[in-house]
């Protein structure tokens, strides 16, 4: 099998651009500091692609395009014995041919309705930075159902984390972004004086920017007080102020309370997908 390509082909770019809401995480992984972790496999004839992101452990598999195309693309990339996955239900059969042990949870991909403006939050949350890392980790350690499992301290560097504080300074609720990428605002592009290209649809999407909200969590004893709404509204308002064009988030299909919050803020369900772990017996 082939190891996968480090650079995305024009055909692969077109597949991502055909559904940027679903492909938001893969598009954001084109960010120069993350691209070195990407292994792409593309089936242009059948219209599918697979991305193996090796920057986390276990690596993450993301797929886009037709089920036949994803099946063909998976045959052109070396896959580890264990991986995390983010795939659409139509891609599951192709994955199960290589991983007999697949454990998934049904999730919803939601996106912020285009052209809807998010007003400043009624209860503004405080911005968080690397100086707040310990407080944030203490909050997430409270655990329980729906506790964040994909937080990395580097996510604080993007500048979109917010929290609600107690009187003693501890965090009651917090959240931010999993990933952001805007070619127009990228420090990598500014450092070399490049301007975002506009020679294909994906370049236009990147010029406007892609962001994935995540790590939203409220301490179990503080739920039902509007803290999660305030945090999410603050993140969303900041992203809109920075002119991000594609803003998405993931939520468990079973987390009805969170879905209600996001819908009231202007998010709509884009699709269902599967998230989980896949293991090979070989």
CATH (domain of 221)? 3.40.630.30
d(CA 152, CA 218): 18
What is residue 197's predicted lDDT score, i.e. its pLDDT?
A: 47
On the question of pLDDT at 2 being above 90, the answer is no
Q: For the chain, how many residues are written?
A: 282
On the question of pLDDT at 193 being above 60, the answer is no
The vertex-261 CA angle with 112 and 143, nearest 5°, equals: 110
275: in domain:
no
Enclosing domain of residue 208: 117-265
What number is the average pLDDT over the span 161-179?
95
What is residue 187's predicted lDDT score, i.e. its pLDDT?
A: 58
Mean pLDDT of the chain: 89
Is the domain of 256 the same as that of 147? yes
What number is the average pLDDT over the span 79-108?
94
Is the domain of 202 the same as that of 65? no
4: in domain:
no
What is residue 186's predicted lDDT score, i.e. its pLDDT?
A: 60
Give the least confident one: 128-132, 137-141, 182-186, 227-231.
Answer: 182-186
What is residue 115's predicted lDDT score, i.e. its pLDDT?
A: 65
Secondary structure (H, E, C), 196-207: CCCCCHHHHHHH
Number of domains in the chain: 2
Is the domain of 74 the same as that of 131? no
On the question of pLDDT at 277 being above 80, the answer is yes
Is the domain of 52 the same as that of 103? yes
Residue 223 contacts by C-beta under 8 Å, 6 or more apart in sequence?
257
On the question of pLDDT at 148 being above 90, the answer is no
Q: Does this model's pTM top 0.85?
A: yes
């Amino acid at each position: 099998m082939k190891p996968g390509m480090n650079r995305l082909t024009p055909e692969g770019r077109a597949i991502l651009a055909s559904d940027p809401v679903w492909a938001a995480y893969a598009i954001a992984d084109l960010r120069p500091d993350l691209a070195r972790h990407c292994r792409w496999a593309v089936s242009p004839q059948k219209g599918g692609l697979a991305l193996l992101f090796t920057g986390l452990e276990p690596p993450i598999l993301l797929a886009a395009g037709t089920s036949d195309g994803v099946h063909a693309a998976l045959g052109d990339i070396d896959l580890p014995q264990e991986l995390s996955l983010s795939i659409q239900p139509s891609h599951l059969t192709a994955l199960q041919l290589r991983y007999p042990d697949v454990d998934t949870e049904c999730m919803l991909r939601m996106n912020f309705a285009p052209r809807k403006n998010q007003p400043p939050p009624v209860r503004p949350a405080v911005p968080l930075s690397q100086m707040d890392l310990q407080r944030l980790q203490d909050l997430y350690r409270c655990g329980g159902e729906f506790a964040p499992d994909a937080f990395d301290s580097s996510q604080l560097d993007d500048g979109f984390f917010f929290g609600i504080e107690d009187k003693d300074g501890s965090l009651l609720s917090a959240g931010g972004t999993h990933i952001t990428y805007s070619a127009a605002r990228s420090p990598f592009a500014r450092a070399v004086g490049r301007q975002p290209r506009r020679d294909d649809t994906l370049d236009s999407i990147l010029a406007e920017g892609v962001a994935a909200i995540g790590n939203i969590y409220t301490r179990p004893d503080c739920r039902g007080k509007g803290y999660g709404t305030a945090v999410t509204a603050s993140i969303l308002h900041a992203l809109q102020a920075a002119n991000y064009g594609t803003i998405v988030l993931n939520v468990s299909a079973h987390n009805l309370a969170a879905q209600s919050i996001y819908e009231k803020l202007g998010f709509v369900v884009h699709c269902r997908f599967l998230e989980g772990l896949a293991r090979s017996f070989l």
